[in-house]
Amino acid sequence: MIDGKTRLCGLIGNPVEHTMSPVIHNTLAEKCGHNLVYVPFQVEEGRLAEAVKGACALNVLGLNVTVPYKSAVIESLVETDELAAHIGAVNTLVRTDGGYKGYNTDMTGLYRAMTGEGIRIEGEEIILLGAGGAARAVAYLCGAQKAGKVWLLNRTREKAEQVAEEVNGAFGRDVIVPMLLSDYQKLPDGKFLAIQGTSVGLAPNTEDVVIDDAAFYRKIHTGFDLIYRPFTTRFMSLVQEAGGKAYNGLKMLLYQGIIAYELWNGVEITEEEAGLVYEKLRQAMGLFA
């Protein structure tokens, strides 16, 4: 029941009509018995600052931020969490007295998704594919969570080198080793956790994959693709065919939402509740497929 006490949360971005975040937050509100609704807002180019200010004036409790505003929104915040400030991207705004504080729950969500599957970052040897916005954030997460070494493979060498320089500088050690994607045969021996952070393989181009060589996949004990559409990417299939375990990005999506919800409402979501939301997300994905 929407009444005089209903709190509002939402998503700002452009476009927003394919978002699954309303499924996450409205399900959680119902399960937790919170009087809260979550709505997507399409914000036109040049109107971001106005939108954040307006949301604050309207007493909006919290906002998620998506493409293309994750970096630009930082200017409109009163405070930014340390990891999010390092990454330079914010996906969650939490209301405080003077305005909104920004967080990056994409990364804390990825970490929670991985931990939940028993995947460790600390001390691990990691292959990270990509050096775009998403992969760059993963590189920071790996630095923050004390990864052993991260072999960062990217098609464009300069971008890999730039991410390595930034992240290694931020953590004061050579955690990221930049490499050209086509040099993957020069990777050291051993077994790796591989995180697929490029946009290659995303629907509708479901047959695409950055590396298509069985020998590469034999180096991978666990593959984590940030993509969740399709549910099983070609990268994941290749990892599985070589005997490794493979995960998609749907639990990352789930936990970025759950952590945002926890920040907005000052609650802890149980694994049982998370499981219910995950099932709803899977159903919703079916509708979009």
Find the binder of ligand ATR among 89, 94, 114, 134 (CB under 6 A).
134
Cβ distance 167 to 139 under 8 Å? yes
Q: Pattern 162-201, binding to ligand ATR, x per CB under 6 A?
A: ------------------------------------xxx-
DSSP 8-state assignment for residue 278:
H
HSE value, Cβ hemisphere, 13 Å, CA-based, for 191? 10
Residue of 117, 115, 163 lying closest to 140 (CA atoms): 163
Smallest gap from residue 274 Cβ to ligand ATR (A): 25
Residue found by looking up tokens 């630095």 in the block? 143
Nearer to ligand ATR, 145 or 162 (CB): 162
Q: Is there binding between residue 108 and ligand ATR (CB under 6 A)? A: no
SS3 246: strand
Q: Is there binding between residue 282 and ligand ATR (CB under 6 A)? A: no
Cβ distance 178 to 187 under 8 Å? no
Nearest residue to ligand ATR by CB is: 132
Q: Is there binding between residue 88 and ligand ATR (CB under 6 A)? A: no
Nearer to ligand ATR, 21 or 196 (CB): 196
Q: Determine whether 70 is an active site residue.
A: yes
Residue of 63, 82, 76, 77 lying closest to 22 (CA atoms): 63
Tokens of 249: 């990005």
HSE value, Cβ hemisphere, 13 Å, CA-based, for 78? 10
Nearer to ligand ATR, 29 or 210 (CB): 210
Q: Is there binding between residue 135 and ligand ATR (CB under 6 A)? A: yes
Residue of 233, 160, 221, 159 lying closest to 194 (CA atoms): 221
Smallest gap from residue 228 Cβ to ligand ATR (A): 13
Q: Pattern 30-69, binding to ligand ATR, x per CB under 6 A?
A: ----------------------------------------
Nearer to ligand ATR, 78 or 203 (CB): 203
User: Which ranges of the chain does DSSP label H, i.e. alpha helix?
Assistant: 21-32, 48-57, 82-87, 105-116, 133-144, 157-171, 214-217, 234-241, 250-265, 271-288
Q: Is there binding between residue 211 and ligand ATR (CB under 6 A)? A: no
- Per annotation, catalytic residue among 70, 101, 251, 280: 70
Residues near ligand ATR (CB under 6 A) are 130-135, 154-156, 159, 198-200, 210
**Which residues are catalytically annotated?**
70
